[in-house]
Chain A
Amino acid sequence: MNTAMLFGLCASMLIGLGLYGLLTHPHPLRKILALNVIGSGIFLLFGAVALRGAAAGMNADPVPQALLITGIVVAFSASALAVALLLRLFEVTGDVSLANDDPATHKDTSKDRPHD
């Protein structure tokens, strides 16, 4: 088994693990973390693809590697936005639950604001 295949298979399992975490954790922060695990698995898979593409005197295909750098930065921005949103949700409601609120409790309470 070569390096690319080994890390490709490892990446497949990482993506599965992350997906399981995303689907089963009720805590949004754990979901954000799970998304990061999925993301890193996808990046690793792309890295394996890059390694398979070694040619023309290069140890790996530089195009996927460059895209990976973009991908990592985009994933970080997404995590930062999600965390900020989560912390703000906690600040405003004192809770971090994503479950649907009971529609009866929230209706019309805060609706008399001038600029809605």
Chain B
Amino acid sequence: MTESPASLLLVLAVLLPFTGVIIGLLLGGRHVRTVALTTVALGLAVIIGIVWHALDTSTAMEYVLGGWSPPLGIRLRADGLSVLMLLAVAVVISLVSVYAHADFAPHDSGKETRAPPVFWLMLLAIWGSLNLVFVSGDLFTLYVALELLTFAGVPLVALDGRGETLRAALRYLLFALLGSLLYLLGAVLLYGAYGTLDIQLLAQMVRPEALSWAALALMTVGLLAKTALFPLHIWLPPAHAGAPAAASALLSALVVKGSWFLVLRLWLDVMPNVVTLSAAQLLAALGAVAIIVGNIVALGQVRLKLLIAYSTVAQIGYLFLMFPLVFGLAFAGLDSTQAVAGGMLQTISHALAKAAMFLAAGLIYLTLGHDRISDLRGVAQALPMTVTAFALAGASLIGLPPSGGFLAKWLLLSAALESGQWWWGAVMLLGGLLTSVYVFIIVVRSLAPAEAGWMPKTCVPQYQQMAVLALALSAFLLGLAALSPVDLVQLGRTPLSLLRGTP
């Protein structure tokens, strides 16, 4: 077995954050934050190395652990989809770390207090688990990755310690556990049928038969519960809105993307010949309901953080619109790359924009001492940069040019028209319209002048505002990726239409 030394970066992407967790736990006290920030810097370098290598060689990276090739052993593999997700998550993790620097500072006395170590250790754990989800090539390792992600997310949901956050955390945990068990059940059936858990090998072996269909259905339902797609979304808003801002950003921008990515992997790469167009339509129909319901409920919210959480419910819906578009094109023998690219862009721009929004809401809360939407007067005065960031992130959610959201919707819309499924395009436009209403309301209310003599409750440090703005700007300028000459999405992947042949 010869492993290219560069592929070792995949192992590092997974294990570096976890090594940070155990070293941080060991040193404890005042050192946890230092360990975490050092790990984030090193991890970012590793991810940049992976991206650079991918662009340089234009091939997928692969690493066989211990030299034991699958099906006996486990391999890590990063194709274009993995590389994009690795990069997006690394950017969000880094900027959230900058933002959280002071919020989760060690106690002056150097004595360990509760929240800071938990936040930093779980931030690293979320990162490691997500990277594992993106690069693991084995269904059982992916099960462990899903559980790791749950165990890293739950303490953040409950970090505040109030009863309602504990309740939200327990509900989240129960949903997530059922979800991963259903996923595991599907993996067990696949092993029983084909004798391997390696997704590359499975992709070549899976036959369109009842057993594969049952496995895919069980795994998908389980993953949808973890992703919070309508109607399995009820755990999400209280869980995401009750946490401290930096934790909400991690949960809403990143954690739900892990299980979504696995659905994508299973449908597009492992079992494309099991998928039927009507199953893909069903998935998108749930997404469409999520978009409409999520946005309408968001409009009725009184508190900013809950509004942003319901907006996540809606945005998750968009992530599932791509499935009938991709398969519609593939079944017609057409190139589905643009639809896949649209879905990926939608995920990434939502990750950046949603992180920016939750962090902005955190700063607004600090400044006003509350986050009631009806009374945002003076915010723009005190936090001009933050309101700008909120508006830019909102523009990306709505899909205004040149944002990432715009390009994503443009690609998906063209795919909808090309595959003759205009109704999904209509849902997207309606969703954008509803989103624009609440983004507009919030921006206009925060532009209102404060009462005379009003003083901000807390003065927010400049670097926190800059971290939020950086996230929002990345989301807003992501649309310029259309100008990039390289097509990262298809790197190391077989085009779907070739895989299936023309019907």
- Chain A contact residues, CB within 8 Å of chain B: 15, 22, 28, 31-32, 35, 38-39, 42, 45-46, 49, 52-53, 63-64, 67, 70-71, 74, 77-78, 81-82, 85-86, 88-89, 92-93, 97-98, 100-101, 106-108, 110-112, 115-116
Contacts and interface: CB of A to CB of B under 8 A. Distances in A.
Contacts of A106: 164
Contacts of A112: 369
Contacts of B151: 77-78, 81
Interface in B146-173: 147, 150-151, 154, 158, 160-164, 166-167, 169-171, 173
Given A92-B162, A111-B370, A82 B188 contact: no
B410 interface: no
Which of A39, A64, A85 gathers most chain B CB within 10 Å?
Answer: A85
Contacts, number: 92
B144 interface: yes
Nearest to B103: A115
Contact of A85 (B140, B164, B173): B173
A100 B185 CA distance: 30
B244 interface: yes
Contacts of A77: 147, 151
Contacts of A97: 167
B217 to A, nearest CB: 14
Interface in B209-263: 238, 244
B154 A42 contact: no
Interface of B: 72, 103, 115, 140, 143-144, 147, 150-151, 154, 158, 160-164, 166-167, 169-171, 173-174, 177-178, 181, 184-185, 188, 191-192, 195, 238, 244, 302-303, 365, 369-370
A93 B164 CA distance: 9
B185 A45 contact: yes
A33 to B, nearest CB: 12
B369 A53 contact: no
Contact of A15 (B115, B150, B185, B365): B185
Contacts of B161: 92
Contacts of B158: 85, 88
The 10 closest A-B pairs by CB, nearest first: A93-B163, A49-B192, A89-B166, A92-B163, A46-B188, A85-B170, A42-B185, A74-B147, A78-B177, A67-B140
A42 B174 contact: no
Contact of A38 (B140, B164, B178, B303): B178
Nearest to B162: A110
Contacts of B167: 89, 93, 97-98, 101
A4 to B, nearest CB: 10
A42 B222 CA distance: 14
A93 B195 CA distance: 48
Given A81-B151, A81-B154, A82-B170, A49 B191 contact: yes
A116 B174 contact: no
A92 to B, nearest CB: 5
Contacts of A53: 195
A107 B188 CA distance: 45
A101 B192 contact: no
A48 to B, nearest CB: 8
B363 to A, nearest CB: 12
A38 B185 CA distance: 10
26 contacts: A31-B174, A42-B181, A42-B184, A42-B188, A46-B188, A49-B188, A52-B192, A64-B191, A71-B184, A77-B147, A78-B150, A78-B151, A82-B170, A82-B177, A85-B166, A85-B169, A86-B170, A89-B166, A92-B163, A92-B166, A97-B167, A98-B171, A98-B174, A107-B302, A108-B370, A115-B244
B164 A101 contact: yes
A71 B42 CA distance: 32
Given A35-B178, A53-B195, A45 B188 contact: yes
A40 B177 CA distance: 13
B154 A85 contact: yes
A39 B169 contact: no
